[in-house]
């Protein structure tokens, strides 16, 4: 069973603000999934290579060229000033 503090710590790493009730709920949910995936310990994986992608594509390269993009990305920003993204001040 994963502890409440662990859930809190992990949620912090993932930058998820959770209420105490949510932490309690995820503690229960995550624990039951972790109990379930424990069954993988029974599989003998010695000498087995990991698979990251089913279709192996290696070193897909392209020329490093500048291409124009006219999508209006800055229009999507929740807060901006002139053509800059605006964030809360970091230095006090």
Partner 1 sequence: MTLRDLTINQAHQGLLDKEFSAVELCRSYLENIKEKDKDIFAFLSVDKEQAIKQAEQVDETIKGGGRLPFLAGIPCAIKDNILVEGLKCTAASRMLENYIAPYQATVIKKLKKEKAVILGKTNLDEFAMGASGENSAFGPTKNPCDLTRVTGGSSSGSAAAVAADMAIFSLGSDTAGSIRYPASFCGVVGLKPTYGSVSRFGLISMASSLDQIGPLAKNINDCKIVFDAIRGKDEMDSTSVDIRRESKDFKIKDLKIGVPKEYFIKGVDKEVERIIKEAIGKYEAMGAKIIEVSLPHTEYAVATYYLIMPCEISANLARYDGIKYGYRNKEADNLMQVYLHSRGKGLGDEVRRRIILGTYALSSGYYDAYYLRAQKVRTLIRQDFEKAFKKADVLMTPVAPSPAFKIGEKIEDPLKMYLCDVFTGPVSLAGLPAVSLPVGKTDNLPVGLQIIGQPFEEDKILEISKLYGND
**Residues in contact with partner 1 by the rule CB under 8 A:** 2, 6-7, 10-11, 13-18, 22, 26, 29-30, 32-34, 36-37, 39-41, 43, 45, 48-55, 57, 60, 62, 69, 71-73, 75-79, 85, 87-90
Q: In the complex with partner 1, which residue's Cβ is closer, 83 or 89?
A: 89
Please say whether the beta carbons of 67 and 73 come within 8 A.
no
Residues of 51-90 as b/e, b for ≥16 C-beta within 10 angstroms? eeeeeeeeeeeeeeeeeeeeeeeeeeeeeeeeeeeeeeee
Least distance CB 68 / partner 1 (angstroms): 12
Least distance CB 64 / partner 1 (angstroms): 13
Please say whether the beta carbons of 2 and 28 come within 8 A.
no
Least distance CB 83 / partner 1 (angstroms): 13
């Amino acid at each position: 069973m994963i502890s409440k503090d662990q859930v809190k710590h992990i949620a912090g790493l993932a930058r998820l603000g959770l209420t105490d009730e949510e932490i309690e709920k995820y503690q229960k949910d995550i624990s039951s999934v972790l109990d379930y995936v424990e069954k993988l310990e029974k599989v003998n994986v010695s000498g087995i290579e990991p698979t990251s992608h089913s279709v192996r594509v290696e070193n897909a390269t392209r020329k490093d060229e500048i291409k124009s993009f006219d999508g209006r990305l800055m229009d999507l920003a929740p807060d901006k000033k002139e053509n800059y993204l605006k964030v809360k001040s970091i230095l006090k």
